[in-house]
Amino acid sequence: MGECALHFQINELKPNGVILPIGIKEVWVKGNQCKTTLTTPQLVQTFLFNTQLEKATIIKDIGQSHFLQTIKYPPDSKISLISKDTMATDSTSHILGYNCKAMKLKWSDGTIYDILYTNELSLTVNQFELGFKNIPGLVLSYTITSAKGMRFQYQATKLDLSPLSLSIFTINNELYQAIEEK
């Protein structure tokens, strides 16, 4: 699939069973380009990259402040994947009408990703999260558990397969204060 828009609801999963809404994550893919926007009450952060380039752009809107940073992507100092296990499940998971399989990714920093993906769909750019690069389908739900036990769930609530305009990936640099990469 060369074009799509995904919408995720983000929740913090507390140990006592309480689910706290955190915000939303939107993902747009067109050809080799990917744009993700994380929206919370405190912050709007957008990450844009093209798989044919070695850099990405991050823009952040915090209150009345607007920042832009260009970074090397993927980063040299990224954490490494320790293991990737397909998980056998007794029940079939369905998200947005698609059958999903379970997978667990374990990272060198102790972070664990519990992923539900469908192999019925695949994107030209599937690494809207760096760890999804080798997932054999479209990730529709994932829970990130930090080494300290904090858990955040991203659940797809909408998938749009309509064509996207290239203007979605255009940034007006004049609106942002540039931050230099260190």
> Token pair of 150, please?
């904090």
Read off the CATH number of the domain in which 93 is found: 2.50.20.10
Residue 128's nearest CA partner among 13, 17, 51, 14 is 51
In whole angstroms, give the CA distance from residue 100 to residue 86.
Answer: 12
pTM of the predicted model as reported, rounded to 2 decimal places: 0.89
Mean pLDDT of 117-130: 82
Helices in 42-171 by DSSP H: which ranges? Answer: none
- What pLDDT is recorded for position 127? 73
Of 181 and 90, which is predicted with more confidence? 181
> Token pair of 107, please?
């990272």
Mean pLDDT of 75-100: 73
pLDDT exceeds cutoff 80 at 28: yes
* Position 74 confidence tier, pLDDT thresholds 50, 70, 90: confident
Kindly state the percentage of the chain with pLDDT values over 90: 63
Helix (H, G, I), strand (E, B) or coil at 18: coil
Number of domains making up the chain = 1
Name the burial class of residue 121, with classes exposed (0-12), middle (13-18) and buried (19+) by CB atoms within 10 angstroms of its CB.
middle
- What pLDDT is recorded for position 76? 65
In whole angstroms, give the CA distance from residue 59 to residue 47.
Answer: 7
Mean pLDDT of 1-7: 91
- What pLDDT is recorded for position 37? 97
For 6, 33, 106, 120, 168, the CA distances from 30, given in Å and listed in that order, are 12, 5, 29, 18, 9
Looking at this protein, which amino acid is placed at residue 65?
S
Kindly report, residue by residue over 55-65, the tens digit of the pLDDT: 999 999 999 99
Locus of tokens 């695949």 = 122
> Token pair of 50, please?
């093209």
- What pLDDT is recorded for position 91? 57
In whole angstroms, give the CA distance from residue 21 to residue 129.
Answer: 20
* Position 77 confidence tier, pLDDT thresholds 50, 70, 90: low
Domain around 84: 3-179
